[in-house]
Structure 1
């Protein structure tokens, strides 16, 4: 289940690192005061429709945003709260919400990253290492993370995730959330496996911190 939001234009300049405010509004609409769980079975895109002006973004024609949920009941709860409290961020207000049902997929699909994909592992001192397209184990870590989410959801499907390395212009993006720098990847991904697992991935996203605006798929 995917919810597409449309907002009025911003009244204040939107900084490049606006993601923490996006997360805060999501938690407000969900009635959460803090990170709700370690493994998110939902994913948040970034805002769409902005134009760079100086050191920030302007959404003169309004902004679009989407959130995807594996559990449709969570999505329905958010709709109710958002409609009753339409204040968004940087002076924007909610105009409308459209519901998109999860599409049917085949056994091999290619997706574009609607928000950058974060892949991390930890060294012996538990320091986070952020991986890029060029790291050999990035594919296996994306696959492992998605399989962990499937397990949390009580599902047992086979799936393989890998970057599309025929894509000629992969980029990394440094995203700062609450003072923590995260190096993430803008690169399409290819999913191979059971169609139900691919439907699951379309909703929950790929990689880590999908509930904080990473790894949503188009």
Structure 2
């Protein structure tokens, strides 16, 4: 992502108002992953200028990793939402809480998961100068098999959540969450929702 945004960019290291999914439609084996012809990932951002920069970066250097590259870009319009929406994840949600010197990774198994996820979204809404009143996020408790997933990033093991979530709020707040992702580190591939 940051290769396409540009080196030393202003989004690196800050709370991300963008997200991108993990690769979809792939299969894994003992040697790695297979990128099928219909494999894809998506990028979304609140700032349309950022999407333009990323698109320009992809067009000038489409290589991703291990010889793979982007061969097609599709731009999609925002979806219209109601005041309560259920979302599946395209990458797991990371949410943490500081406890003195210790940082705890919070998952759906923790009582404060929904509260911290809601507070995180409110922080992003404030950063974008959007209203925060009335927005809430909760785990879809009707889903029968939520899971935790340990994801290692740059040597750090992150305990994350994979489960559908429900967002309540104004259509604008829900569209914003859908665009920027949920939880922390959406700029490195966590918390993308579909």
TM-score bucket (shorter structure): over 0.9
Deviation at 1:55, TM superposition (A): 4.8
Distance in structure 1 (CA, Å) of the matches to 2:162 and 2:8: 30
Deviation (angstroms), 1:157: 3.5
Is 1:86 the counterpart of 2:62? The answer is yes
Distance 1:103 1:149 in 2: 19
Q: Are 2:110 and 1:135 aligned? A: yes
Q: Secondary structure at the match of 2:100?
A: coil
1:151 counterpart (126, 140, 158): 126
- Please say if 1:41 is aligned against 2:17: yes
Give 1:7-22 correspondences, 5 Å limit: none
- Could you state the TM-score of these two structures normalised by the residue count of structure 1? 0.84
Partner of 1:105: 81
TM-score (norm 2): 0.95
Aligned 8 A contact 1:157 1:196 in 2:
no
**What stretches of structure 1 move > 6 A for 4+ residues in a row?**
none
Query: Partners in 2 of 1:211 and 1:63 — Cα distance?
Result: 20
Cα RMSD of the aligned pairs, angstroms, is 1.3
1:1-218 to 2 correspondences below 5 Å = 26-33=1-8, 36-61=12-37, 63-125=39-101, 127-158=102-133, 159-218=135-194
Unaligned runs of 5+ in 1: 1-25
Question: Which has the higher mean CA deviation after the structures are superposed, 77-86 or 49-58?
Answer: 49-58
Q: What is the number of residues matched between the two proteins?
A: 192
**CA 1:104–1:61 in 2, change beyond 3 Å: closer, same or farther?**
same
